[in-house]
Structures are given as structure tokens and as C-alpha cells.
A and B are shown apart, each in its own frame.
Chain A
Amino acid sequence: MTLASVVAMAMFVGVVVYALFAGADFGSGFYDLTAGFDERGSEIRTLVDSSIGPVWEANHVWLIYILVMWWTGFPTTFAAATTTLFIPLLLALAGIVLRGATFAFRKYSETFAQARLFGAIFAASSVITPFFLGAAAGAIASGRVPAGGYGDLIGSWINPTSMVGGCLAATTCVFLAGVFLTADAARAGSTALAERLRIRTLAVGVATGVVVFAGLYPVAHDAPTLSHGLRTAASPLLALAAVAGAATLALLYRRKYSPARVSAVVAVGSVVTGWGVGQYPWLLVDQVTINDAAGADSTLVGLLIVVGLAGVIVLPALTYLFRLTQQWNRA
């Protein structure tokens, strides 16, 4: 295990956490978007508002963490990715900006018309953003980001693996959000609302499973290196994802919402981790390995110090914040 691999793992922990936390946030935009205009629509929107409320902004930090770890730990590959994946990254960024700002603005809106405009932008950008991030990941995983940068501006992210990546990111987000929102609604005692969300989430869950496992087929032809990794080292993780995903659907069906949240997180977490393990030891698949991409050792050590400090300072404070918000929600 080299120093570079440890830093890459620390960075990838950020990717998994971002996929889970931000994923649940992004996905709730889908339910907001499809809530409809009547009274029942406002019920879902209120739920989305209160579920996202306390933590939504903290999630950007994970993205910033990933970017900073990337450009500090593996600078040349970062420049290679940003010059090649210019368009999807820019579109994801636009989505993040619009989403964050309109969510805040909606909360303060005075009139219904204002709230509806901000709400529509919020919901639409929530769905679009994970798609482009997933497409960018697909480009890296299928070896379309050349080591020297400035790869194909269009073809790098419009291709089978990127499309699978984009759809996978979007659907897993929606699936996670559905499970969490259903559980929140049930806990708040809104049984009718929980029932409606449960049906939708079940449908989304089936669709997500289809995307994840049917997606393996085009990937096998389009990204042989990744595909080989998925069939070998990452295969236990994919099996775990399949079991946890099926378990989530069964639990939802039986209205066991709290354990369903755990299995949904396990399912999505192992899909994302599976991608990471599948492309190891490549940082940019078929182009640059993690060890070759690494920056100076002294800088990598510095990064690990920051990660350690974050564990000591941030985690206790974050736990305290979660406890405080839970108290509020119960009261």
C-alpha cells in the first residue's frame, strides 16, 4: 500500500459520502418535480424542505473536498480531466449553483408565484446535476480522458459508459431520496403521504436495479478495463449491491422503513465503491495509475494530516448538529 493509494482512498471516501449524502438531496428534487400542483404536491414539497433543511449545504463541502484532494494530490490528472470534461463539469456546476441558490430563495419566498418559480428551477437542476457528474465519471472509467488533457470535448462524455454512468447516478439518487423521504413521512405520522411515496420508490427501485445491472452489458464492450475489474475484484461488492437492493425493495414492500434506509445506503454505497475497486489501480483508466499520478510525498503527507484533523474536529461537531436537529424534529 503506497502513500498515494492511501490518499486516493481518502479521496474516494469523499466520493462515496458525497454520492450518499448529496445523492439523497439531489434525488429529492425528483419527487419535488413530480409532486403535482395541487394540495398533495405541497405536502411532498414541505416534506422535501424539512428533510433537506439542516444539512443540504454541508454536502457541497464533500465535493470541494474531492476537488481539493484531487488537484493537490494528483494535479496533472485533475488538469487532464477539467480540460477534457469541460462541458459536463460546467453543466453539473451550473446545476449545483442554481439548485443551491433557488432552494434558499424558495424558503424565503413571499408569494406563491415566487416559490413556484424557484421551486421548479431547484427541482429540475437537482435531477440534471447528478447525471452530468455520472457522465464525467463514465468518461474517466472508460479511458476517454487522455493523460495530457484536452481530450475529445464531446465524445468523451457522450458514449455508452458515460450514459450508463449518468443514468446510474441520477437513478440511485432518486432511489435513495425516495427511501429517506418515505421513512421521514412515516415517522412524522403522515401515513397517506408515506404510502404514495412508498409506491413511487418501489417503482424507482426496480428501475434503478435494471439500470445498474443492464448497464453492465454496454460497459463490457465499451470499457473493457473497468469491466474486467468489475467481474473480478469488485464482483463481491456488486453481489452485495444486488442483495442489499433487493432487501430494500422487500423492506419497503413490508413497510419496514427504518431498516430500508440502511440497506439502501449499503446498496448504493457498494455500487459506487464497486466502481472505485473496479478501476483500481488506474486513476484515469488505461492512462495513468494512482502511483504515477501522485504529487510530491510531502504534500500527500500534508493532505493526510488535514484528513486526520477533519476526523477529530468535524465528526464530533457534525454528530452534535445531527442530534440537535433530530431533537428539533421530534419536538
Chain B
Amino acid sequence: MGLGDTFLALASEAGPPGLFPARQQMAVSLGWHIVLACFGVAFPTVIYVMHRRGIVRDDPVALGLAKRWGKVSAVLFAIGAVSGTVLSFEMGLLWPGLMGRFGDVLGLPFAFEGLSFFVEAIFLGIYLYGWDRMPPRRHLAMLIPMGVAGIVGTFCVVSVNAWMNHPAGFAIRDGVVTDINPWRAMFNDGVWFQFLHMWLAAFMVVGLVVSGVYAAGLLRGRTDAHHRLGFTVPFVFGSVAAIAQPIVGHILGMRIADTQPAKLAAFELAETTEGPAPFRLGGLLIDGEVRWALEIPRLGSIIARNSFDRPVPGLDTAPASDWPPVNITHLSFQSMVVIGTLLAAGVVVFWLLRWRGIDLLNNRWFLRFSMIAGPLAILAVELGWVATEVGRQPWTVWQILRTNDAASTNPGLWWSYLGVLVIYLGMTIGAYVVLRSMAKRWRTGETDLPSPYGPPKEETVS
């Protein structure tokens, strides 16, 4: 359905030739990079807790896990650095209309992001080289700048996106961008909650993916301390984030009625403004009519406006030329919410039962659930970005710059899109093969695996 909608949108769109491939290429590269970025943001903190436990309780299992995770994060960080470089090229190659006109408005957070990325790379190197070479406490402390850099980096990147949703820090006179204040652009109205939403999402992704790996081991009967601890620590992080996320998401959602009514209308599949508005689960907008939606009266007002009868703006508040692709936006948004709710419910059940003395780690169905929880969290992140980005269309900068005018008109964009698809597919396969082979070698007892930033291994390479 989403796919068909995409093609319909493509057929009816009269944008410049670069628009479609530019959009798709950006979506693929961002969607790919965000997964690795999550690990760069959240993994150091998870490793810190594990490593600290190893030192404080003199626990060799925890220390072993921290050491392995450090190496895994190095592989992911290295690939993420590469895909991050791609993105910085793409800002110019795909969106010259945005960067040329607004580069000095939105660029400053990117500069801070580059700085925090550099800090994280250096301290990751120090951490990997520091094993057995630094006093244990100081070595552990090297993870702190990495975690802080993750926070600053997330804030800065999300700040640019929040600026696209809530443009600030400039004025336009006679078509010329003037009165530029990059700090106001950076600390725009939307940034704090959007940042919090993404930061929590990173912890959901990392916490649930890593614990899922150990859940798979437990399911195969590897019920040693190594697997139980490897599951529990990241799962705690994933749980806290999964429970906090719906609250933050709700606050964020309530603001949209005022800031981007057309996006909210698409989220809620609301054709006309209604108050009280129903909640429409599923469904599609076809030829101006809502079909196959499950309507629950009043719930729409409650969710979007935090009230029993306040109206939810409909698509009729904006001219049809300013509508986003409604069905993609609606379905992505609702799928994200459904997955988020499912994950929150899952972790609540786990901790409630554990409080009552029932350990679900012995339950095969729970282990199966936590194996797919990580991929589901990643899916929710992707859907969330699709919902907010597609939902802002046809604007790149809300009510300031249309995506048509931001995109490059270069006819070669189809080729670069194709190239990006091939390269990213290759990198995905490569990353999978490498991580699998690391896991396999660790299981067979090899401990001294090399890593990208780490010290060399004592053997020849090829």
C-alpha cells in the first residue's frame, strides 16, 4: 500500500527531475545511518554501566562483556563514520537549494556535531587502547566523554531537523535571507522534545537489540552468567527508554496541532476539522474518502489535544497543494505508535512478573519476543522518521522552502541513487558477515580479536 502510494505520488508529481531520486537517496542514507548513530549515542553509556559493574564488584564476566562490546561498537562506529561522511556530502549534492540559501542559518549545529563526533572517535580509540594499560578507574572514565558526545551530537543533528519544522533565527526580506542569528536557529522551539524523543529512541534500539542477541543465546540453552548479564544490563536501559518514550512522544504530538496542522491531519487521517475528533486506526485515504479505518469516537481529541472535545485540524485547513502524501504519513505514524506501545507493554510485563518472583528469562516465548524487540525498535525509529519527514512535505523548511526548490536538478541523481543502493547493500552484508564471524570466534574461545580503532593483533593479515 505504501509502495503503491509512493508510485502514485511519483506519477502525479511535477517536480524537478532530481526530486524523486534525491528524496529516496536521502531517505536510504539517513535511514541506514540512523541505526549506527543510535549505537554511537547509546552504546558507550551501556558499556559504562557494564564496565563499572566489572570493576566495582570485581566481576570478570562483566569486564569480558564490556571488552567485547567495546570492539563491536568500534566496528559499528567505523561504518557509521563512513556513512556520516556520505551524508555531509549529500547535504550539498542533493539539496543545494537548502544549503546554498540557508547554510549560514542552519550550519552551526553541524559544526558542533562534528566536534562531538571527533571527541567520541578519539575517546573510543583511547578506550580500546587503554585496556590493561591505564589505571582501571581512569580507563572507565574514558567512556564518559563518549556518552556526553552522544548527547551533544544527538542534540545538534536533531536541532537542524527541528529547525526545518520550526524555522527560527532569520528573516526574509524581498526574498533575501537576513538578520541571521544561528544560536536562535539552533535553540529553536522544537528542539528539546525532539531531541529527547530521539535520544530515548537510541537507547531503545541499542538496549533491545543487544539484549535480543543474548536472548537468542539463552533460547539455545546457553544459560550461563555471561548470557544472563549480557541480557539484563542492556534490557534495563531499553526498558526505561521504552516506558518513557510514549510520554515524550505524546507531549511532542500535542504540539503539532499548533505548529504543523497538515502533518497532524495526515497522522490522524482527518479530512475535515472535527471536535470531538475520532481516532482512526489503520485505513487509507482514497479519492478523498477515508476507507477501512476503525473509528473510535473522541479518542483522537484525547490523544492529539489532551482534551475530550477540542478539535483536531483536518486537511481542509490547508490547500491541497500543501498536503503531504497522506497515506504514507498516516500508516508510518500509526505503525510507530503501535510498535512503541507493544514494546512498552512487553517490558512492563517483564518487570511486573519479575517483581512477583516470576523470571521470564526461562520462558521461551518471552525470549522469542525479546529477539524481535530490537528489530522492532529499529523499525519504529525508521517509521517515525518517515512520518515526520514525509508529513512535512511539500516543505523542506516549514512554510519557507519547498522541497522542489531545495532539490538538485542534476539529471545524474538517478545514478547516484543506484550507486548508494548498491554500496549500502554491500556494507550491510559486510557488517553482518563481520559481526557474525566475531561472535563465532568469541564462542570458540578466541579472545584477542582486533578492532578498527584498537591495538593490532599479533599476527599477519593476509
Q: Which residues in A have some Cβ–Cβ distance to B below 8 Å?
A: 41-43, 45-46, 49-50, 53-58, 60-61, 63-65, 67-69, 71-76, 78-83, 86-87, 89-90, 93-94, 96-98, 100-110, 112, 114-116, 118-119, 149-150, 153, 295-296, 298-300, 302-303, 306, 309-310, 313-314, 317-318, 320-321, 324-325, 327-328
Q: A71 to chain B: which residues have CB within 8 Å?
A: 91-92, 99, 103, 107, 110
For residue B145, give the distance in angstroms from its CB to the closest CB of chain A. 8
A-B contact count (CB 8 A): 256
Least CB distance, B269 to chain A, in whole angstroms: 37
- Flag if B460 contacts A42 (CB, 8 Å): yes
Are A299 and B115 closer than 8 Å at their CB atoms? no
A-B contact pairs, 5 of them (CB 8 A): A53-B454, A72-B107, A89-B93, A93-B86, A302-B108
Q: Provide the residues of chain B in CB contact with A67, threshold 8 Å.
A: 88-89, 91-92
Asked if residues A69 and B111 are in contact (CB atoms below 8 Å), the reply is yes
Contact status B93-A90, CB under 8 Å: yes
Contact in complex: A61, B121 (CB < 8 Å): yes
A107 — which chain B residues lie within 8 A by C-beta? 450-452, 461
Q: Which of B75, B108, B453 contacts A54 (CB 8 A)?
A: B453
User: By the criterion CB–CB under 8 Å, are A90 and B88 in contact?
Assistant: no
Contacting pair B114 A68 (CB below 8 A): yes
Docked-complex contact A94 and B118, CB < 8 angstroms: no
Nearest to A328 among chain B residues (CB) is B455
B434 touches A299 (CB 8 A): no
Chain B nearest CB from A45 CB (Å) reads 5
Expressed in whole angstroms, the minimum distance between the Cβ of B100 and any Cβ of chain A is 3
Contacts of A153 in B (CB 8 A): 410, 412
Distance A325 CA – B430 CA, assembled complex (angstroms): 27
Q: Looking at chain B, what size class is its interface with the partner chain?
A: 35 or more
Across the interface, which residues of A come within 8 angstroms of B79, CB to CB? Answer: 100-101, 104
Q: How far does the alpha carbon of A60 sit from the alpha carbon of B122 in the complex, in Å?
A: 12
CA of A318 to CA of B108, assembled, Å:
23
* Bound Cα distance A50, B461 (Å): 10
Given contacts A57-B78, A73-B104, A321 and B122 within 8 Å (CB-CB): yes
- Chain B residues contacting A109 (CB-CB under 8 Å) are 434, 437, 462
Query: In the complex, which residue of chain B has the Cβ closest to the Cβ of A100?
Result: B82
Q: Determine the distance from Cα of A76 to Cα of B104 in the docked complex, in whole angstroms.
A: 9
Q: B19 interface residue, CB < 8 Å from A?
A: no
> Which A residues are in CB contact (< 8 Å) with B183?
298, 302
Chain B residues numbered 363-388 whose CB sits less than 8 Å from any CB in chain A: none
Q: Which residues in window 123-180 of B have CB below 8 A to A?
A: 123, 125-126, 129-130, 133-134, 145, 180
Q: Given A64-B114, A71-B92, is A106 in contact with B462 using a C-beta cutoff of 8 Å?
A: yes
The distance in angstroms between the C-alpha atoms of A318 and B92, with both chains bound, is: 29
Identify which of B104, B117, B423, B451 contacts A94 (C-beta below 8 A): B423
Q: What residues of chain B lie closer than 8 Å to A324, measured between beta carbons?
A: 125-126, 129-130, 133-134
- The verdict on A296 contacting B104 (CB below 8 Å), with A104-B434, A313-B115, A317-B122 known, is yes
> A108 vs B453: C-alpha distance in the bound complex, in angstroms?
12
Which residues of chain B are near A325, meaning CB under 8 Å?
125, 129, 455
In the complex, the answer to whether A108 meets B437 with C-beta atoms within 8 Å is yes
Asked if B92 and A50 make an inter-chain contact with CB atoms under 8 angstroms apart, the answer reads: no
Verify if B222 is at the interface (C-beta below 8 Å from A): no
Task: Find the B residue at minimum CB distance from A32.
Answer: B462
Chain B contacts of A97 at CB under 8 A?
82-83, 85-86, 423, 427
A50, A73, A328: the one contacting B133 at CB < 8 Å is: A328
Which residues of chain A are within 8 angstroms of B453 by Cβ–Cβ distance? 53-54, 57
Q: How far is the CA of A86 from the CA of B121 in the complex (A)?
A: 29
B129: nearest residue on chain A (CB-CB)?
Answer: A324
A116 nearest in chain B by CB position: B462
Of B93, B108, B119, the residue contacting A299 (CB under 8 A) is B108
Report the 9 A-B pairs with minimum CB-CB distance, sorted nearest first: A72-B107, A75-B103, A295-B104, A79-B100, A82-B92, A296-B180, A79-B96, A100-B82, A115-B462
Q: Which residues of A contact B441 (CB under 8 A)?
A: 110
Docked Cα-Cα span, A78 to B462, in Å, equals 41
Interface check B257, CB cutoff 8 A: no
Q: Are B121 and A299 in contact (CB under 8 A)?
A: no
Decide: A64 near B117, CB < 8 A? Known: A72-B107, A150-B409: yes
Q: Which chain A positions have C-beta within 8 A of B111?
A: 68-69, 72, 302-303, 306
Contact B122 A314 (CB under 8 A): yes
**Bound CA–CA A153/B410 (angstroms):** 9
Partner of A317, one of B84, B119, B182: B119
Contact A72 B103 (CB under 8 A): yes
Q: Which residues of A contact B86 (CB under 8 A)?
A: 93, 96-97
How close is B5's CB to chain A, nearest CB, in angstroms? Answer: 30
- Asked if B85 and A63 make an inter-chain contact with CB atoms under 8 angstroms apart, the answer reads yes
Per-residue interface assignment for chain B, residues 68 to 99, with 1 indicating a CB less than 8 Å from any chain A CB and 0 otherwise: 00000001011101111110110111001101
Q: How far is it, in angstroms, between the C-alpha of A81 and the C-alpha of B115 when the chains are bound?
A: 24
Cβ of A69: which chain B residues have Cβ within 8 Å of it?
Answer: 111
**Are B430 and A105 closer than 8 Å at their CB atoms?**
yes
Given contacts A72-B107, A75-B102, contact A108 B115 (CB under 8 A): no
Inter-subunit contact A61/B93 (CB<8 Å): no
Is B434 a contact partner of A105 (Cβ separation < 8 A)? yes
B449 within 8 A of A: yes
A234 to B96 Cα, complex, angstroms: 32
- With A100-B81, A302-B111 known as contacts, the answer to whether A78 contacts B92 (CB < 8 A) is yes
Give the complex CA separation of A105 and B150 in angstroms: 25
List A contacts of B133 (CB < 8 A): 324, 327-328
Q: CA A96 – CA B83 in complex, angstroms?
A: 10
- Do A104 and B461 have beta carbons less than 8 Å apart? no
Instruction: List chain A residues, Cβ under 8 A from B78.
Output: 57, 100-101, 104
Within 8 Å by CB of B182, from A83, A104, A296, lies A296
- Assess the A104–B75 pair: CB atoms within 8 A: yes
> Within 8 Å of chain A (Cβ to Cβ): is B408?
yes
Are B118 and A58 within 8 A (Cβ)? yes
| CB-based contact B462/A72 at 8 Å | no
How many angstroms from the CA of A115 to the CA of B460 in the assembled complex?
11
| B416: Cβ under 8 A from any A Cβ | yes
User: Would you call B15 an interface residue if the criterion is a C-beta within 8 Å of the partner chain's C-beta atoms?
Assistant: no
Task: Decide if B456 touches A53 in the complex (CB within 8 Å).
Answer: yes
User: Other CB < 8 Å A-B pairs besides A61-B118, A87-B412, A115-B461, 5 of them?
Assistant: A45-B461, A72-B182, A96-B86, A106-B462, A306-B115
Min distance, Cβ A98 to any Cβ of chain B, angstroms: 7
Q: Quick check: B181 and A298 within 8 Å, CB to CB?
A: yes
List A contacts of B114 (CB < 8 A): 61, 64-65, 68, 306
Residues of B within 8 A of A87 (CB): 412
Interface presence of B438 (CB below 8 A): yes
For the complex formed, measure the closest distance between the CB of B27 and the CB atoms of chain A, giving whole angstroms.
Answer: 17
The answer, yes or no, to whether B419 is at the interface (CB within 8 Å) is: yes
Q: How far is the CA of A73 from the CA of B182 in the complex (A)?
A: 11
Contacts of B118 in A (CB 8 A): 58, 61, 65, 310, 314
Interface presence of B112 (CB below 8 A): yes
Measured CA separation A324–B129 after assembly (Å): 7
Given contacts A53-B456, A61-B121, A78-B100, contact A68 B107 (CB under 8 A): yes
